[in-house]
Amino acid sequence: MTNDRIRHANGRQNATVAEQQTIHVGGEWRSAVSGATRDILDPVDATTLAVVAEGGAEDADAAVAAARAAFDGGQGAWPRTPVAERAALLRRVAALLQRDREKIGLLESRDAGKTLEEGRVDVDCVTDAFRYFADLVVGEGGGRVVDAGSPDVHSVVVHEPVGVCALITPWNYPLLQASWKVAPALAAGNTFVLKPSEITPLTTVVLIELLTEAGLPPGVANLVTGPGDPVGARLAEHADVDLVSFTGGLVSGTKVMRAAADTVKKVALELGGKNPNVVFADACATDEGFDTAVDQALNAAFIHSGQVCSAGSRLIVEEPVRERFVAELARRAERIRIGRGTDDGIECGPLVSAQQLARTEEYVASALAEGAVLRAGGERPDGPGYFYRPTVLDHCHRAMRVVREEVFGPVLTVETFRTEDEAVALANDTEYGLAGGVWTADPGRARRVAGRLRHGTVWINDFHPYLPQAEWGGFGKSGIGRELGPSGLAEYRETKHVYQNLAPRPVRWFAG
């Protein structure tokens, strides 16, 4: 793995020109056209990790032009590369990710503030995604034959790459979210321009380096580091971009949709959620069941300091076990060890930025003003960095902002229900619909509730796992389209019907 562009993350004090060349266009690394740079900050202590190029609209235009040329080229262009060769490249990337697992996991931990173990798990999940899409495209047939009702007609439905893709990714899972887009885009035969979050771009730079090392032709993968405005906005509106895939917040996602509308390009959006975790009393009937449900509620809410689109930030617990459950949950939340994610024993890292810390504090303050009861956390610890203690807010209700809106911080709200219908109504009472969990010892109830929840993923007696072969995405304002699974590949394709008349002859519709 090339380290010139990220070596400052390991302690070097002076940024070099190479570190500023984080824009990748047509197979070459370059600085921003404007010469602008951005300091990437360590969320643990706000010191500089690295210096990257701060791209703009001109850089985005150059990257799109390179991707367009690589897609529209002759017989040897990437879309016309045999499927087996495309799949082999994806598998080489997977092998390189595992080769550099420790280095990449460490960099993801430092850049995004998560624990080192979370960084390692991310690399493994990314590896699985590249392998899955390689296997998926190789295992497909040559199209779907359609019976036209005549032996003189050959009719087939085929799938082709959509073209130039703009891939815009968030700051919380930089490598993972990029790979969920890059792997299917390449598998389908597309070229792309990738724009990572300007806050956490470092492992995305490494991913482009690995794609190059694996043998991807110049111009197929392009990278522009820089802010959403102007880089992301320019990509979304660009006439030579055929698809824009965006993962991020609702406000930014709606801006992407508006920008893409004039060119009527394909749009895929994953916009987060406000995810319920419903706990029925029967799940807590035994000591083991109670302990498991509490443990999983902590994991649902506080993994990566709650900076997860599918975080179980709304605990909806049945009245008979509410007080015992919340008391134990709060006790354990107070004991969560926070600090630098690379240190031994640390369970929760900082928030990603000063802005995200301030946002979290504001939500907690508004909840307390609206009548919530603080059971744990609710404050910054002493010392530097963007840390916030895992927070449990009891006696919450649907009118509170903290219950309705996505906080993206370590904040768990508690609501109570008495009947199954009430539990479902509360869980579905959100403009989002990304994910949700149901805890019960009753298999019939589990199936009933899961079937009634309007969320793209429903976990029964679990929370957070996903599979690369299963679609990921949401209902309502959680977005449009799906990532992962066969549908995740289909997002990057156009469908074409090819009808061949094997015995053409005059129709004689017009007498002539």
Q: Which residues 6+ apart lie within 8 Å of 22 measured at CB?
A: 5, 29, 52, 53, 201, 205, 223, 225
* Residue 251 to residues 53, 195, 264, 477, Cα–Cα distance (Å): 25, 18, 20, 10
Closest-CA residue to 184 (of 99, 86, 269): 86
Choose, from 54, 270, 415, 491, the residue flagged as catalytic: 270
Our answer to whether residue 396 is catalytic in this structure is no
**Alpha helices (runs of H) in 429-473, residue ranges in sequence order:** 443-452
Which tokens in the block code for residue 170?
A: 């968030």
DSSP collapsed to 3 states, 20-79: HCCEEECCEEECCCCCCEEEEECCCCCCEEEEEECCCHHHHHHHHHHHHHHHHCCCCCHH
DSSP letter, residue 232:
I
Choose, from 165, 284, 309, 348, the residue flagged as catalytic: 309
**Alpha helices (runs of H) in 335-419, residue ranges in sequence order:** 354-369, 401-404
Beta strands in 54-152 (DSSP E): 144-146
Compute the residue count for the chain: 512
Cα atoms in the Cβ-side hemisphere of radius 13 Å centred on 298: 23
**Paired sense of beta strands 435-439 and 221-223, if any:** unpaired
**In contact, 273 and 310? CB cutoff 8 Å:** yes
Sign of CA dihedral 447, 448, 453, 454: positive
Our answer to whether residue 309 is catalytic in this structure is yes
Angle between helices 101-112 and 174-188 (to 10 degrees): 120
Which residues are tagged catalytic?
A: 270, 309
